Chains A and B, each alone.
Chain A
Amino acid sequence: MEQAIAEQLRSGAPPRAGTALSIEQLNAWYGRKQALFDINLTVPPLSVTALIGPSGCGKSTLVRCLNRLHETIPGARVEGRVLANGLDIYGRGIRPMNVRRHIGMVFQQPNPLPTRSIFENVAIGPRLNLGLRGARLRELVERSLRQAALWEEVKDRLHSPAISLSGGQQQRLCIARALALEPEVLLMDEPCSALDPISTLQVEELITYLKRQYTIVVVTHNMQQAARIADRTAFFLHGHLIEEGETQQLFTHPRKKETEDYISGRFG
Chain B
Amino acid sequence: MSVPMPTHSSSASTLQPEKGQTHPFLGARSSLNLRRRLVNALVVLLTTLAALFAAGLLIYLLFYVLSQGLRYINLDFFTQLPTPNGEPGGGMGEAFQGSLILIALASLMGVPLGLFTGIYLAEFGRGPFAQAVRFLVDVLNGIPTIIFGLLAWVLIVIPMQTFSGLAGGFALGMIMIPIVTRTSEDVLRLVPRELREASLALGATEARTILQVVLPAARNGIITGVVLAMARVAGETAPLLMTAFGTTFWNTDITQPIDALPLRIFQFTLSPYQQQVNQAYAGAFVLIVLILLASLAVRLATGGFKQH
Contact = CB atoms under 8 A, between A and B. Distances in A.
- A and B interact: yes
Interface of A: 67, 69, 72, 74, 97-98, 100-101, 104-105, 107, 109, 111-115, 124-125, 128-129, 163, 174, 177-178, 181
Contacts of B200: 69, 72, 97, 100
Given A115-B216, A115-B307, A174 B198 contact: yes
B199 A113 contact: yes
Contact of B213 (A104, A113, A178): A113
A163 B195 contact: no
Given A114-B217, A114-B308, A115-B307, A104 B195 contact: no
Interface string B83-127: 000000000000000000000000000000000000000000010
A125 B217 contact: no
Contacts of A177: 198, 202
B205 A97 contact: yes
A100 B202 CA distance: 6
Nearest to A116: B216
A100 B208 CA distance: 14
Residue from B200, B208, B219 whose CB has the most chain A CB atoms within 10 Å: B200
Contacts of A113: 195, 198-199, 213, 217
Nearest to B196: A72
A109 B194 contact: yes
B201 A67 contact: yes
Nearest to B216: A115
Contacts of B307: 114-115, 163
A56 to B, nearest CB: 18
A142 B199 CA distance: 20
Contacts of A163: 307-308
B202 A125 contact: yes
Which A-B residue pairs are the 5 nearest by beta carbons?
Answer: A101-B203, A105-B201, A111-B194, A125-B202, A111-B198
B202 A114 contact: no
A128 B204 contact: yes
B201 A69 contact: yes
Interface in B265-308: 307-308
Contact of A107 (B126, B194, B204, B217): B194
Contacts of B253: none
A178 B195 contact: no
Nearest to A180: B202
17 contacts: A72-B196, A72-B200, A97-B204, A97-B205, A100-B202, A104-B201, A105-B197, A107-B194, A107-B197, A111-B197, A113-B213, A114-B217, A114-B308, A115-B217, A125-B202, A163-B308, A178-B201
B154 to A, nearest CB: 40
B195 A100 contact: no
Contacts of A72: 196-197, 200
Interface string B159-200: 000000000000000000000000000000000101111111
Contacts of A114: 195, 217, 307-308
B202 A128 contact: yes
Nearest to A115: B216
Nearest to A102: B203
A46 to B, nearest CB: 21
Contacts of A67: 201
Nearest to A100: B203
Contacts of B204: 97, 128
A97 B195 contact: no
Contacts of B198: 107, 111-113, 174, 177
Contact of A129 (B202, B213, B216): B202
A268 B224 CA distance: 46
